[in-house]
Structure 1
């Protein structure tokens, strides 16, 4: 996915795109409306589903379309052989997100980063999980500094909403939602869980049309037939198919 990719560059998944925009775009761009009706702004959205189904691409395209600060991290970016470094990196990451609000903070393969406390021994993953839960709850963040950040990015509004992480929405992606701790999935942290399924026939056709938009096709190429014969292909598989044909 290129830096300036749009949601329209991702074939199919119209309902997923709409739900993602409603959960992320509206709270970040129209916080006054949420405050007016007394609605809490969602803190996080979890995208889960099989690999290669455009979970990462959806987050990147949404941030590009909204023109907001986009921070992307994975377990490899945060882990360190030194005790306490990973937790410190989590705190610094959220601090950068608050300073750059409105911000989309994307955590890829979150199951590798935090996992579940019931599936393993205590260690760095549990400490990182505790740090992530603390930051998402806003514990230890000075309210005055948050109010200043909010006034800066919303044009010096006089009222600051009660949320600590105002202007920050966390989007996470995983192939293994069963490996995540229940404390992370409760409302108030990841408020919305969106399943990104393998593309169906209509979605595969839409993906093929997007992928072949700039590829000269012969008269014998039938995209509808290809969509029918590529059952269980993911979006990544469809992209690889087009690359193989062109090479």
Structure 2
């Protein structure tokens, strides 16, 4: 349980996160009425020790969302297709328990830039993550937060 008051400073960031994650759930009827698209996720980046993980925990606590903290080792498997299945299961659980936050710490290990990737399995895992975030099944109250201290290593996918 981490509150906004536990994190000193970052007032602009807190307000941005509140507007991107809390308001679409709290004021869903207004977003729908005015056709305002909601964000499906944010990337937190900065040097080690700048409170990225603490901010992610505070978001879930302050917004009353379920929190799924994910390390790459939780998802990666040596068996073909198992990593992708783990990602699909994670998103399915988060949808069932919405509103929820899926927090990928050190996301650069999962969402490797495709031009830097040397294996098809890495590309397949990234494709599965992107399909879950923007695919046929809507996230509906599931928000994705990624944290990294190496944003240049994360795939440059932009949502329109």
TM-score (norm 1): 0.62
2: CA distance, partners of 1:53 / 1:85: 33
Contact 1:31 1:41 in 2 (8 A): no
Moved over 3 A (4+): none
Q: Of residues 100, 104, 111 in structure 2, which corresponds to 1:103?
A: 100
CA offset digits 1:26-66 (Å, max 9, x no partner): 11222111101101111111111111100110010111112
- The SS at the match of 2:69 is strand
- The SS at the match of 1:182 is coil
Shift of 1:187: 1.9
Q: Of residues 165, 174, 185 in structure 1, which corresponds to 2:139?
A: 165
Aligned counterpart, 2:24: 27
2: CA distance, partners of 1:119 / 1:93: 25
Listed as ranges, the matches of 1:115-134 within 5 Å are 115-134=112-131
CA offset digits 1:129-185 (Å, max 9, x no partner): 01001111123x3xxxxxxxxxxxxxxxxxxxxxx11111111111111111122xx
2: CA distance, partners of 1:129 / 1:37: 32
Contact 1:74 1:113 in 2 (8 A): no
Shift of 1:72: 1.2
- The SS at the match of 1:38 is coil
Query: Are 1:81 and 2:55 matched, yes or no?
Result: no
Aligned counterpart, 2:7: 10
Contact 1:117 1:181 in 2 (8 A): yes
Q: Of residues 180, 191, 202 in structure 1, which corresponds to 2:154?
A: 180
For the pair shown, the structure with the greater C-alpha radius of gyration is: 1
Aligned counterpart, 2:56: 59
Gaps of 5+ in 1: 142-163, 189-247
TM-score (norm 2): 0.95
Shift of 1:15: 1.1
- The SS at the match of 2:147 is strand
Gaps of 5+ in 2: none
Contact 1:25 1:66 in 2 (8 A): yes
1: CA distance, partners of 2:27 / 2:102: 18
Listed as ranges, the matches of 1:231-242 within 5 Å are none
Aligned residues: 160
